[in-house]
Amino acid sequence: MVNAIYAMKNYPIMMVNAFVSPLAFLIVLTLVSRGALFGVAVIGGLIMALTSSGLSLQGDLVHFKVDFKLQDMVVSSPTTAFIYLFGMAISELIYYLPGIAVLLAMAFINLKFGLFPTLQVTGAMILMFVLATALGFMLSTHISDIMESWAVTGVVSILLSTIPPVYYPITYIPLPYRYAAYLSPTTYAAQIAQQAMGYIHFPQVTIDIDWIVLIGVSVVLLLISVKKTRWREI
C-alpha cells in the first residue's frame, strides 16, 4: 500500500494518469450522446476503473516479479500470498482513487437514485474488483516475461473491458451480437447497474440471473485463482 503512495509522491505523473484515464471515456461519451448517456457513462467509468485496476495489477506484479525479483523476496518472508495480494490490490486501487473520487462526486451530484439501487451498483462494482484482482494476481504468478504480460493484458482486457457495454446501454447492441457481450462478467455488472439506475428496463428475472451469473463467475474465477496461483515455482 505504501508502495503506491511512495510512487505517487515520487512520480506525480502517475497521479495525473489516475485522474485522466477513467474521465476520458466519460467526456467522450457524454459529448457524443449529448448528455443523454452521462449517468451510464459515470457508472460505467466506475466499474471500468475497478476492473482495470485489477488488470493493471497483473502487469505491475509481473514487472515487480521479473525485473525486481519482488515475488521471490516476498515468498521467502513471513508475508503470505494473501497479504501480498491484498496490499498490492489496495495500492493499485490507490492509483485509481483520484479518478474514482471524481466519478463518485459526479454521481452524487448529478444522479438521483435511492438506497437500494446504490447498494446494487456498489455490490456489482465490488464484485468486479475482487474478480479482476484475483484473476490478475493468479495470471501474474504464471507469467515469466513482461512481453507475455502485455499480450495477456491485451486478451483479458478485450474480454473484460472492450466487448462489454459498460459505457452505454446494452440495448444499443443489435441482438445476435449482444450474446457475445454476455461472455464477459463485466456485462452482467453493467447490466445490473444500468437497470438499477433506470437506463434499461429488463424483466426482474433477467437481473436476478445477472446476479447469479456474476456471483457464480466470480466465485469460480476466485476458486481458480486461489487454486492455480503459482506462489512457489516448479
Interface with other proteins (CB under 8 A): 2-3, 6-7, 10-11, 64, 67-70, 72-80, 83-84, 87, 232-234
What does the buried/exposed string (b/e) look like for 24-43 if buried means 16 or more CB atoms within 10 Å of the residue's CB? Answer: ebbeebbeeeeeebbbbbbb
The CA-CA-CA angle for residues 145, 18, 186, to 5°, reads: 70
What's the CA gap between 186 and 189, in Å, rounded? 5
Q: How far is CA 72 from CA 11, 88, 151, in A?
A: 26, 15, 23
- Minimum gap (Å) between residue 87 Cβ and other proteins: 7
What's the CA gap between 97 and 105, in Å, rounded? 12
Cell (9 digits) for 161: 473491458
Which residue number, 43 or 143, has a Cβ lying nearer to other proteins? Answer: 143
